[in-house]
Structure 1
Amino acid sequence: MSQRRAFRRVFLPAAWLVIGALIAVSLVRLAFAGGTSAADDDLFPTGEIPAETVFAEKATVENKLTIPGTIRLTESKELNAPVDGVVNWAFVKPGDNVSLGDRIFQVRTESQPEVAEASVSDTEGSEGEQLTVEAAPVLKYHDVYASATGKVGAFQIEIGDDVTKGTGLGSIQPQEFLAAGSIDPLDRYRLMDESLEAMITIDGGPEPFTCKDLSVGDSASKKSNASTQDQDMESSMDPMATGESPESSSSSEISCAVPADVVVFDGLSMNMEIDAGTVEDAVTVPVSAVRGMVGQGAVWKLDENGKEIRTEVELGVTDGKIIEVVSGLKDETEILRFVPGSTPAPGEMMQMEPYPDEW
């Protein structure tokens, strides 16, 4: 056998076998013993994410809310039967304008008095017999008065109908309007001052006007017409149609009376802008850094060893993103961006400062 043939048949296969064995041993060692020592690599990951921090800073806080809504008529006033009886008369007809206290209906009641007994004597003076005398029924008339100034609605009964106490007879629709919208329950904390006013703007309508005596209810706005109800039903079945989430149904109604000298119509769209106060040059922190948003709250500092320290603070005005710290925290103090144990909202994560390019 020539040397060349011996090299190809014996030596070359043996060399490949040795190389394969060395690779196999190396892989086993890497799998069970790891690579280079972590102590020799300063960039070895620890699995711990450093706490995100921010600094308290001076800023102006404007507590303003802009709420979309509609102009609608105030709720109608029901007219109910005051007693059991018969509807005897109607002093008006549907569509008539009436004033507070005007007579609208009359209900007649009929009651039978107690049976009366009378004595009848004969001509000889003998003791008389007791005769029963039926008395005439007692009729009484009860008027039903307008509970508000407005327009008479459709009658729910007809003249001559028997009714019981509390039966609905009709209604009065006041010709007064409300500017009404929906507010998130958490935003109600920003409107604790009962003397607040709103500026109402109607595109294509009258000049913006002031709406006083804001009222916040505990349920979402009730629509006054069937078409709006149908639209709401469709929207609830398909949340993507309006871009709103189903949770919006948990909002509260906020409303105020439209001044009588302002010309508006039922169903107009409007924007309600509420200025609940502005604070300038205030110590502020992100709302995500505070536990508690009204009156007293807490933030977390970091000591030299990175330990979290709860710090009580007094809180003031907020715009929903930042909040005023009245006392308990100085300007330029470093605190945690998020309350310990809380999960940042997607929007808050988007607002976080990006890492430097060189990282």
Structure 2
Amino acid sequence: MSHRRVFRRFILPSAWLIIGALIAVSLVKLAFVGGSPAADDQLYPSGEIPAETVLAEKDTIKNSLSIPGTIELVESQPLSAPSAGVLNWAFVKAGDNVSQGDKIFQLRVESTVEPAPTNQSGPGEHEADEAEAQPADDAPATTVSYHDVLAPAAGKVGKFDFSIGDEIEKGATLASVQPQSFHAVGIIKALDRYRIMDENLDATISIEGGPEPFTCVNLNVGDQASETPANAASEEEAAMDDSAAQPQDESSSGSEVSCDVPKDVVVFDGLDMTMDIDAGSAEDVLTVPVTAVRGLVGKGAVWILNDEGKEIRTEVELGVTDGKVVEIRSGLTSDAEVLRYVPGSAPAPSMEPGMEIYP
């Protein structure tokens, strides 16, 4: 028998048989035993996402806000009656311009004075006869006085609410004085108030198509007051169902910021404007994102990772912020690695301009 025939009839079939047996054994092992422990450790998902960190780095912060708003007339001042009486005289007419302290109205006030008793003891028989013969002199006396109503501010006198000769109650509004001065008014988010806590700031007002940008003084920041007129009560009740079904407009809440327009600048009521406020800056200072800090005024805390990966709370002193990053004055060193987000917070950045706050 030749070698070729021996190889084809005996050796080759035996080789295929051995290979098949090895494959079968491997399949059985994979099916009932599984892979190696080392491979399982490498491939098994842990469900944990590594904490995101950032480095504290030097940067320049410019704390400036740009606020849209309108030009508005200063609120009118009421002319109130100081006492009850009769409207006796008007020194001006509606539409006249007056100065602060000018006389506007005069009230005629009548008052009754009870005389003091002259004799507390009962009259004798002779005195009683004389009292019957003489007219009584202890009748109440009526006195008349005049009170002026002065202009509380310089401006234009509005329409009179009463006519000469009318009876006036104390505190009644006789008319109003509309000051011919203006202020710029805008609305900022309540959290942005922390960025303009300095009471001595000025603002730059820009009016498209109007005068050159000018400085607006006496910057004032306060909560926006909500007024509900009495005649609007029924409309408010009718709209309650609709408003409950619709989301609230975020722009309706916030803080009002206003400043006085200089008298030499020509503006008109209702003009659209932009108010730019420069609340300070800091150059080449250590900064971290505001999302890494709990508390953004004065003092706060950040979290750093130690060599074992444990989160360590670290107190820091804070400075200027532009709503995106905040100055770290003390508590951290340059290139310190801190958590990008305060522990327990979920990244949910606001789509509106302003402070970047993560809950």
Give me the TM-score of the superposition, normalised by structure 2: 0.76
Task: Please state whether the residue corresponding to 2:113 is helix, strand or coil.
Answer: coil
Matched, 1:320 2:323: yes
Match of residue 57 from structure 1? 57
Provide closer, same or farther for how the CA distance between residues 82 and 127 of structure 1 changes in structure 2, counting only shifts above 3 A. Answer: closer
Match of residue 132 from structure 1? 136
How far did residue 135 of structure 1 move?
6.6
Match of residue 199 from structure 2? 194
Match of residue 292 from structure 1? 295
- Contact kept? 1:220, 1:249, Cα under 8 Å: no
Structure 2 stretches of 5 or more lacking a match? 1-27, 119-128, 228-234, 352-359
Between the aligned partners of 1:38 and 1:289, the Cα distance in structure 2 is 39
How far did residue 137 of structure 1 move?
2.5
- Contact kept? 1:76, 1:171, Cα under 8 Å: yes
How far did residue 117 of structure 1 move?
9.4
Task: Please state whether the residue corresponding to 1:112 is helix, strand or coil.
Answer: strand
Matched, 1:206 2:206: no
Task: Please state whether the residue corresponding to 2:160 is helix, strand or coil.
Answer: coil
Provide closer, same or farther for how the CA distance between residues 64 and 117 of structure 1 changes in structure 2, counting only shifts above 3 A. Answer: closer
CA-to-aligned-CA distance 1:308-328 (integer Å, 9 cap, x gap): 001111100000000010111
Task: Please state whether the residue corresponding to 2:135 is helix, strand or coil.
Answer: strand
Matched, 1:172 2:171: no
After superposition, residues 1-359 of structure 1 pair within 5 angstroms as: 36=35, 39-41=38-40, 42-114=42-114, 127=130, 129-133=133-137, 137-219=142-224, 246-346=249-349
- Contact kept? 2:302, 2:316, Cα under 8 Å: yes
How far did residue 36 of structure 1 move?
4.3
- Contact kept? 2:79, 2:149, Cα under 8 Å: yes
Structure 1 stretches of 5 or more lacking a match? 1-25, 119-125, 223-229, 239-243, 349-359
Between the aligned partners of 1:295 and 1:151, the Cα distance in structure 2 is 47
Between the aligned partners of 2:174 and 2:34, the Cα distance in structure 1 is 90
How far did residue 39 of structure 1 move?
3.9
Task: Please state whether the residue corresponding to 2:286 is helix, strand or coil.
Answer: strand
Aligned length: 298
CA-to-aligned-CA distance 1:211-238 (integer Å, 9 cap, x gap): 111001121598xxxxxxx9xxx9xx89
- Contact kept? 1:314, 1:325, Cα under 8 Å: yes
| RMSD after superposition | 3.0
Q: What is the percent sequence identity of the aligned residues?
A: 61
How far did residue 249 of structure 1 move?
2.2
- Contact kept? 2:291, 2:341, Cα under 8 Å: yes
Between the aligned partners of 2:36 and 2:350, the Cα distance in structure 1 is 40
Provide closer, same or farther for how the CA distance between residues 130 and 70 of structure 1 changes in structure 2, counting only shifts above 3 A. Answer: same
Between the aligned partners of 1:313 and 1:200, the Cα distance in structure 2 is 36
- Contact kept? 2:114, 2:141, Cα under 8 Å: no
Between the aligned partners of 1:168 and 1:259, the Cα distance in structure 2 is 30
Task: Please state whether the residue corresponding to 2:100 is helix, strand or coil.
Answer: coil
Task: Please state whether the residue corresponding to 1:312 is helix, strand or coil.
Answer: strand
